[in-house]
A and B are shown apart, each in its own frame.
Chain A
Amino acid sequence: MSKTTIVPFGPQHPVLPEPIHLDLELDDERVVQALPSIGYVHRGLELLAERHNFIEMAQVAERICGICSFIHSQGYCQGIEQLLGLKVPPRAAYLRTMWAEMSRIQSHLLWLGLSADAFGFESLFQHSWRIREMLVDMIEETTGGRVIFGTCKVGGIRKDVDAETLQRIGGKIREMESAFNEISHIFSIDRTVKQRTVGIGVLTAEDAHALGAVGPVLRASGHARDLRQLGYAAYGELDWEPIVETAGDCYARCIVRLREISQSIDLIKQCIDRMPSGEIEVTFKGKRPQGETMIRLEQPRGEVCYYMCANGGKNLERFRVRTPTFANIAPLVHMLKGCELADVPVILLTIDPCVSCNER
């Protein structure tokens, strides 16, 4: 066997602002093995839950991640609501769904831009982010924040969105859709994109299942598994199907995300059209959470799990988060085996790593 070299990749790497470190064992230019290590940005958010009032913690939970922020607070609130035996009013459930889908679109557009940047397609990167900006403006218009929505609370949502604003958002989302369709077309046919992604980092359906891949990585390998199928919030009442591709390579993962953006746009339109009227929150004065629960939600990056344990006090006894990036690291290490060194950034990006939220 020839001699191998170890090349460190990250935690500071130009392609990825996320602090993940990989020790790449190379035989010439080919990766023999990759050893990941994380732990550079641990913030102790789980411990904070044991010290903060369970109502205020919704705001802290939202700050686990700066991209899927809303879905984290939604998951936290759903868990507490389950412990308290609350059912959120339909209007709150629809608005939560709408914001969760906005969060998904902005995350996927951000990813598309970053991946275009990773394979050296600067203009596509800028156009993806130009379109993302349209959506971030819609988020600000409905919630007041651009990154942190701050609208989810235990028992419902904090601020209603009036019918006029919803109509306006409906119009803007159509505008955004036509702009998005243009870049979506470029992503799916452009030769530069295809050369860097087709047949690279293939994950077979069996491997994806065995290694526990989640989210777009799993669906790009042919598994129709999307946690929104559980029907939480308003997903049970909307018309949609999980997006599946079968090739399992970087290109398939890119296409899954492109198609998911179109689907999310459609889901937002459905939410606006079917928005029920009525209350936006239920009160639970004086009630304290008791018992334990496990909540699973579909984030832009895949399945997120929350474990909560409470003993009737005003703080939770234990709060545990397993983010999708953690589940996707094992498939990543598998995909990196045998690839070219130049393809490592592209493969790494196609799992859409969010190391900071992974470390909480």
Chain B
Amino acid sequence: MSWFSISALVTRSALNRPATRLYPIEKRTPYPKTRGHIAFKITDCTFCTLCAVKCPTGAIVVGKTDNTWAIDHGRCILCGNCVESCRESCISLRQQSWHSMQEQEVIRYR
């Protein structure tokens, strides 16, 4: 019966649990590799600007003279170039995604 070929599937999914999650009450756990957001630890940073040079979007701004480090989470595309380039391992990729933004958010560290 080619008219009703989908009925078995539809009946089964009507009786089973929904395939979707009740977001935002129920959040999914990210995988260990998930690229969520960039985290930064200023203590070891030498302000060498290598990360800023390697960033394809210009999301990182390093102040060499005033020892500041800033990231614009709206520009970051989570490519991980900065994580790979930092010799002091100051930058890391975290699994949790950054919260949704309504305006440009630049996080400054000093």
Interface-facing stretch out of A183-191, A225-233, A271-279, A316-324: A183-191
- Say whether A331 faces chain B, with CB atoms less than 8 Å apart: no
Shortest A69–chain B CB gap in Å is 12
From B2, B13, B77, give the contact of A127 (CB < 8 A): B13
Neighbouring A residues of B33 by C-beta, 8 Å: 140-144, 159
- Say whether A13 faces chain B, with CB atoms less than 8 Å apart: no
User: Is B56 a contact of A56 with CB atoms below 8 Å?
Assistant: yes
> Binary interface profile of B, 1-45, with partner A (CB < 8 Å = 1, else 0)?
011011001100100000100000000001101110000000000
User: Is A140 a contact of B9 with CB atoms below 8 Å?
Assistant: no
**Majority secondary structure, A binding face:** helix
Shortest A180–chain B CB gap in Å is 12
- Say whether A133 faces chain B, with CB atoms less than 8 Å apart: yes
User: Is A189 a contact of B56 with CB atoms below 8 Å?
Assistant: no
Size of A's binding interface in residues, CB under 8 A: 30
| CA–CA, A60 and B79, complex, Å | 10
User: Is A144 a contact of B34 with CB atoms below 8 Å?
Assistant: yes
> Binary interface profile of A, 102-145, with partner B (CB < 8 Å = 1, else 0)?
00000000000000000000011001001001000000111111
Neighbouring B residues of A186 by C-beta, 8 Å: 5-6, 9
Return the chain A residue nearest B36 by Cβ: A144
- Say whether A87 faces chain B, with CB atoms less than 8 Å apart: no
Neighbouring A residues of B31 by C-beta, 8 Å: 140-141, 144
User: Is B2 a contact of A189 with CB atoms below 8 Å?
Assistant: yes
Size of B's binding interface in residues, CB under 8 A: 22
Shortest B4–chain A CB gap in Å is 9
- Say whether B78 faces chain A, with CB atoms less than 8 Å apart: yes
| CA–CA, A127 and B14, complex, Å | 12
- Say whether A158 faces chain B, with CB atoms less than 8 Å apart: yes
| CA–CA, A117 and B13, complex, Å | 19
Neighbouring B residues of A142 by C-beta, 8 Å: 33
Return the chain B residue nearest A134 by Cβ: B19
User: Is A59 a contact of B79 with CB atoms below 8 Å?
Assistant: yes
User: Is B56 a contact of A52 with CB atoms below 8 Å?
Assistant: yes
Shortest A205–chain B CB gap in Å is 28
Given A133-B19, A145-B78, 9 further pairs, Cβ under 8 A: A52-B56, A140-B30, A141-B33, A145-B34, A150-B78, A182-B9, A189-B5, A191-B3, A194-B2
